Structure 1
Amino acid sequence: MISLKESFDPRNNSIGFLRWLMAFMVIFSHAGPLAGFYGGHDLGTQISDEQSLGGVAVAGFFFLSGFLITKSKMGRASTPRFFWRRIMRIFPAWLLVLIVTAYALAPIAYYRESGTMDGFWNATTDSPFTYFSNNMWLPLAQHNIAGMGESLPFFQLHGGFEWNGSAWTLAFEFGAYILVGVLGVAGALAHRMIGGIVASAIILLAMMQWLGFGNLGLFGIVFADFRQLLLLAPFAFGILFALFGDRIPIDNRLAILCIFIAGWTYAKGGWLPFGQYAFCYALIWFAIRAQFLKNWDKHGDFSYGIYIIAWPLMQFAAYFQLQDAGWLVYHVVIVAGCHAYAYLSWHLIERPALQLKDWTPGWLQRLLDRTAPTRVRVISAVDPTYPARLARRTPQTTGAPT
C-alpha cells in the first residue's frame, strides 16, 4: 500500500483548490449572521451542535497548514529564513486589508449609514486612524470603527459589530508557526518521535477539552482560551502527517470510511473530538487523488486574499442592503468581489512580497557569516543532526531579491 510520503508531490496536488473551496465555505457560512440568511446563524449549525461549515473549513485550513509548514521547516531553510517566509506570506496582505477597510470601505459605509462624515475622522473611540495600528500585529484589539454598524443584520441579530470577524484566526495561525519553529530548533522535528509526542499531546488535550475532562487552564494559561486547542489540534494533526508520512497509507477505502465518519459525527455528535481528524485525512487523500485540479491555482493563490476580505466586503454590502436582492444575487456579487480583490492582492502585494522570501540584507548576511561557527556549536549541542542538515542547504542569495 502506497504511503503519504511516496504519493504526495508538493508540485502536483489539489491543495490550491481545497484552500479556495474552504475559503468560500467560510463565506457561505458567514452569510447567515452577516446577511440574515439561514435564520441569522452560521450555515451548518442547523444540523451540527458543534461546528459551523466555516469552522469545518478553518479546521481544514489549519490541518493543511500544519502539514505544509512542518514539511517546510524540515527542509533546507534555516529558522530565521523560515520565519521570514511566514512573515512575508501573512503580513503584507493583512496590512493591505486593514488599510482598505479603514480608509475605503469604512468611510463609504459610514456616509451611507449617517449621511455625513461628521464623527468619523475625529472619532474619539475606535478611530479609523487607530484601526491599523491596533490590529497590525494580528491579534484584533479594535473591532469597530467610529461606532458603526447598528443598522446592520449582524448588530440586530447578535448585538455587536466586527469589521473583520473571521481574521481572529490569523494570530493563532502565526502562533502555530512559532510552535513549529521552536520544535525545529529543539530538534523535535529531526527526532520525529519527540515532535510526534508533542503533537499527540496537543490532540489529546483537545479531546479532553471537548469531552469535558477538567479545567485545561491548569496546564497553562495558553489553554484557558478554548480557541487555542480548537485550532492547534488540526494543526498538530498536520504535523503528525508531515513527520510520519512514510507510515500513513493513502487508501481509497480508508478515505471513504473517513468521509462517512466525518459526516456522521458532524450531524450526530463527536465532530470535535473525533470526526474532524477523519475529515483531515479525506482532505489529504483528495489533494493527492484529484490530479485534474492540480493547476487550479496556476494564476495565483487567491485563498488568503479571499479569506481576509470576505467579512469586510460582506459587512460593506450590508450597508447597501445587498441581502434584500436575494440569496443568489447576494452570493454572486460577494464571490465576484472577493475574487477581484484577491486577484489584485495576489498580483500587486502577495506575490511581490513572496519574491523577497530568500532575500537577505548585506549587513545581516555579514553578521550571520561572522557568527556562524558559534551558532552551529550552540544548535548542535541541542540537535546533533544540525551540521548534516546545514550541509544539505543551498546557499542563500544575498543583497537582492531573487
Structure 2
Amino acid sequence: MIWRAPRVAKALANPHNNFGLLRLAMAVAVVISHAFSVTDGRVEQEPWFATTGFTLGEHAVNGFFAISGFLVTMSFLRRGWRDYVLARLLRIAPGLIAATLVVALLIGGLMTNLDLAAYFRDPRLWRFISATLTSFKSAAALPGVFEGNPLQFPMGTVWTLKYETLCYLGVLIAGVAGLLAKPRLALATLAALTLAVVLREVLIPDGPKGAETALRLPLIFLAGGVVYLYRERVTLSLPLLALALLALVPLAFTPLYKAALYLVTAWGVIVIALAPALTRRSVEPPADLSYGVYLYGWPVQQALHALFPALGAVALLWPSLAVTFVIAALSWFLVEKPALGLKRRLLRAS
C-alpha cells in the first residue's frame, strides 16, 4: 500500500541502488536528444519536446540535477566540508580539462579547415580553452572547425556545469553555516523557488529560456537535497509515482505544469534509484562512464556530422554512441578514476 511504502532512510541502508545506472542512462538520453539538434540545428521535431515541452536531453539534465542534489547533500552531511570540496573538485575538473584539451587540440586540429600551424596560432583557440574552463561557455567556436554544421560550437553540454558548480557552492555555504541542520529552511526555500516558477508562467510564460533554466535547475537540485534532508519521512512508492505522472497530464494546460514536473522529476528519480522493488540486485555499471558520455557525446556527433553530412539523426546516433562510449571509457580509466583515487590519498595525508 502507498502509506506503507518504505522511507528513503531505510532504503539507503540497502546494499544496492540504481544511481550509477540512472546517470549513465541519462547521459545516453542526452546524446540521443542531441542527434536531432546536431543534424539540423532544431529541437522542435523531437517527440519529447512536442509532447512535454522539453527535449529528452532536458529531462535527462533535470534528472542529473535531482540525483546530484540528493547525493552531494548526503556527502556533505556525512563527510564534512574538506571531503566534500575535494570530491566535487576532483570529480568535475580533471574530466573537463581533459575533454576541453582533447576537443580543442586533437579533434579541432584534425577537423579545422585552416593550416595546422595557423590553427594553433589563432587566438580563438586559446580563448576557447580559457572560456570553457573558466566560465563553462558552451557556445564558443573553434577556428575553422564545424563551419558547415548547423551549430558550430564543439562542446555544447558544458553550460550545465556552471549551474552544477553554483549549486555545489550553495550546499557548501549552507553546510558551513549550519543551515543544512535546519531542514525547514531548505523546504521554505524550495517552496519559494516553486512559487517563482509558477509566477513566471503566469506573468511571462514566453520569457527568455535562460531565465527559465536559472529557476529550473536550482529548484530541481534543491528538491533532491530536500528529499535527503527529509529522508525519514519521504516515501519510495512506485504506485504513487505513477499517479503523480498521470496528474501531470491535466496540469500541462495550466501554469502549474512546469513546477509540478520539476518536483515530480526530482522525487521520481530518487524513487527509481532506491525503491526496494527495483534494487534487489546490483545493476551498477562496472565503470562510471556517465560524465565522459555527457562531455564527449556532442563533439563526437559534431565531428561525425561534419564528415557525413547526409546522415540523419537516427543514422548518426548509433556510430556516435559507439565512439562516445570508447572515449568515455578512456576518460574514466585514464583521467577520472585516477583523480578520485587522488582524493583518497589527499584525505589520508591530511
Shorter-chain TM-score category? Answer: 0.7 to 0.9
Whichever residue aligns with residue 59 of structure 2, its letter is V
Aligned to 1:143: 140
**What is the CA-CA distance between 1:139 and the residue it aligns to?**
2.6
Aligned to 1:169: 160
Distance 2:100 2:178 in 1: 37
Aligned to 2:85: 83
Counterpart contact for 2:135–2:162, Cα < 8 Å: yes
Change (3 A) 1:178 1:39: closer
Aligned to 1:16: 20
> Which has more radius of gyration?
1
Counterpart contact for 1:309–1:338, Cα < 8 Å: yes
Aligned to 1:99: 101
Aligned to 1:63: 66
**What is the CA-CA distance between 1:118 and the residue it aligns to?**
6.6
Change (3 A) 1:39 1:81: closer
Q: Residue deviations 1:202-247, cap 9 Å, x none?
A: 3332333333379x9xxxxxxx844221210100110110110111
Aligned to 2:77: 74
Aligned to 1:373: none
Aligned to 1:304: 291
Aligned to 1:109: 111
Distance 2:223 2:237 in 1: 18
- Secondary structure of the 1:149 match is coil
Given candidates 204, 218, 240, the residue that maps to 2:226 is: 240
1:372-387 matched pairs, under 5 angstroms? none
Gaps of 5+ in 2: none
2:332 equivalent to 1:335? no
Counterpart contact for 2:35–2:313, Cα < 8 Å: no
- Secondary structure of the 1:245 match is coil
Q: Residue deviations 1:122-177, cap 9 Å, x none?
A: 324x2x2332222213431871111533311x24xxxxx21111110001101000
Aligned to 1:366: none
Change (3 A) 1:140 1:4: same
**What is the CA-CA distance between 1:80 and the residue it aligns to?**
2.9
Q: What percent identity do the matched residue pairs reach?
A: 23
Distance 1:242 1:146 in 2: 45
Q: Residue deviations 1:184-208, cap 9 Å, x none?
A: 1111112222233233333332333
**What is the CA-CA distance between 1:339 and the residue it aligns to?**
0.8
Change (3 A) 1:331 1:70: same
Aligned to 1:51: 54
Counterpart contact for 2:273–2:279, Cα < 8 Å: yes
Distance 2:184 2:281 in 1: 34
Change (3 A) 1:11 1:91: farther
Aligned to 1:370: none
**What is the CA-CA distance between 1:328 and the residue it aligns to?**
4.4
Greater relative CO (CA pairs within 8 A, separation 6+): 2
Counterpart contact for 1:183–1:189, Cα < 8 Å: yes
**What is the CA-CA distance between 1:44 and the residue it aligns to?**
2.1
**What is the CA-CA distance between 1:42 and the residue it aligns to?**
4.8
Matched length: 343
Counterpart contact for 2:18–2:279, Cα < 8 Å: yes
Whichever structure has more helix as a proportion of its residues is: 2
Distance 1:285 1:39 in 2: 29
Change (3 A) 1:104 1:293: farther
Change (3 A) 1:41 1:105: farther
Change (3 A) 1:37 1:9: farther
Normalised TM-score (structure 2): 0.88
Counterpart contact for 1:32–1:43, Cα < 8 Å: no
Please, what is the CA RMSD of the aligned residues? 2.9
1:140-289 matched pairs, under 5 angstroms? 140=137, 143-152=140-149, 154-155=150-151, 161-212=152-203, 225-262=211-248, 270-289=256-275
Distance 1:170 1:69 in 2: 15
Normalised TM-score (structure 1): 0.77
Q: Residue deviations 1:271-313, cap 9 Å, x none?
A: 422123223322222212322663332x211111100111111
2:32 equivalent to 1:28? yes
Aligned to 1:221: none
Counterpart contact for 2:138–2:157, Cα < 8 Å: no
Gaps of 5+ in 1: 156-160, 217-223, 361-395
Aligned to 1:294: 282
Aligned to 1:120: 119
